[in-house]
Amino acid sequence: MVQYSGLRFWQDTGARDRAIDRLLALRAGLAQNVSPNNKQDSFHLATWNIRDFGGHRLNPSPRLPETLLYIAEVISAFDLVAVQEVNEDMAEFQQVMRLLGPHWDYIVTDQSGNMERLAFVFDTRKIRFRHVAGEIVLPPKKGVEPPQFNRTPFLVAFQAGWFKFNLCTVHIYYGSAADTTKRKREISDIANFFTARQKKDGETYILLGDFNILNPTDPTMNALLGGGFEVPAQLRKPTALSGAHYYDQIALRTQNKLVEIRKAGNFPWQDYVFREADFSAYKAAMPKTTKTGKPAKTDAAAYKTWRTWQMSDHLPLWTEIKMDFTEAYLESLKVGEKPLAEFKPASGAKPEVG
């Protein structure tokens, strides 16, 4: 539960009442659009590019205090969230973590391309960090150093119930809509990297984040699928706020196929907070000048852009994944069957007895 107690001390009672109304609407929307995250046999995985989160180079105005409450509320609907575009200043990110409460933790990278960080935010009551984390650097091929990623992908090993998995978040190079050559290469490189690794270790890999994929039939999607990853039909949802593009994806690769997608979708936060109908309430908060000192537009069209700097120009993409395979495991222990899991004793010297 998000920590709302600070609302009591807001001096601006109009902003406080507005935030309370919008939080109630947002909570109702999450309850309707996202399956409950208190189930014992499944967990909720999401990815969200939160635009320029903590950055001040591009963002025309600071985020409002209520915005951070809304962001925390959305994240709290899931159990594990990959967040892209966390910037050099982590003050806003850390404030959201405080709002999420003591059961939440995070793992974040240092800055790479565009001064951005990649982060995983997770509820420790459901998700366990398996103490493996690292940024992905492509190895040389026949002594030749390959081009590396503009923003280095980040892999972390997690466990939810029975389900052990390796999660890699990306923010793929965009470039331009006219030339996606580098974009396709980065997508193909990261998919092929983990396909080759999985052939050696047999573990489950999930790639997620902002791939800047235009649509499910575009060559940018083919680069991901051609690398051996699967994007279930339930996850092929538009995630650009405009609804026109399928930038964000959650792709899976597993050898034993013991992955069950219960439900998936995107969450249209703009239906509940920073709605088009709210323009007049926020007009006074919009910047009156640009960063160059010129007069800024404060009409309804400008508001639709401004709200993306408050929340994001992306929608969260999420899926509910089964994490309890007790029945399947018990069946696999029967004569003639292959156990789904091998529990080997720890290696190393045995303790002396007596």
| CA-wise closest residue to 184 among 195, 196, 194, 172 | 172
> What pLDDT score was predicted for residue 344?
42
Q: Is 252 helix (H, G, I), strand (E, B) or coil?
A: strand
Residue 61 DSSP SS3: coil
Q: What is the pLDDT of residue 343?
A: 44
- Helix, strand, or coil here: 191? helix
Query: Rounded distance, CA 86 to CA 117, Å?
Result: 5
- pLDDT tens column, 247-286: 999 999 986 666 788 999 999 999 999 999 999 999 999 9
Q: In whole angstroms, give the CA distance from residue 20 to residue 110.
A: 35
Looking at residue 121, what is its pLDDT? 98
Model pLDDT for residues 102-117, shown as the tens digit of each residue: 999 999 999 887 789 9
Q: What is the DSSP string of 77-111?
A: TSSEEEEEEE-S--HHHHHHHHHH-TTEEEEE---
Beta-carbon neighbour count of residue 4 at 10 Å? Answer: 14
End-to-end CA distance of the chain: 51
For residues 163 and 251, what is the distance between their CA atoms, to the nearest angstrom? 16
Q: Which two tokens stand for residue 79?
A: 């159990």
Beta strands in 161-256 (DSSP E): 163-171, 205-210, 248-253
Residue 349: the pLDDT is 38
Residue 313 contacts residue 240 (beta carbons within 8 Å): yes
Structure tokens at 176: 């331009």
Instruction: Please give the chain's pLDDT, 354 residues, in tens.
Output: 899 999 999 999 999 999 999 999 999 999 999 999 888 899 999 999 999 998 766 677 789 999 999 999 999 999 999 999 999 899 999 999 999 999 999 999 998 877 899 999 999 999 999 999 999 999 998 889 999 999 999 999 999 998 899 999 999 999 888 899 999 999 999 999 999 999 999 899 999 999 999 999 999 999 999 888 999 888 999 999 987 899 999 999 986 666 788 999 999 999 999 999 999 999 999 999 887 888 989 999 999 999 999 999 999 999 999 888 788 778 888 998 887 755 443 333 333 433
Distance CA 192, CA 139 (A): 12
pLDDT recorded at residue 259: 78
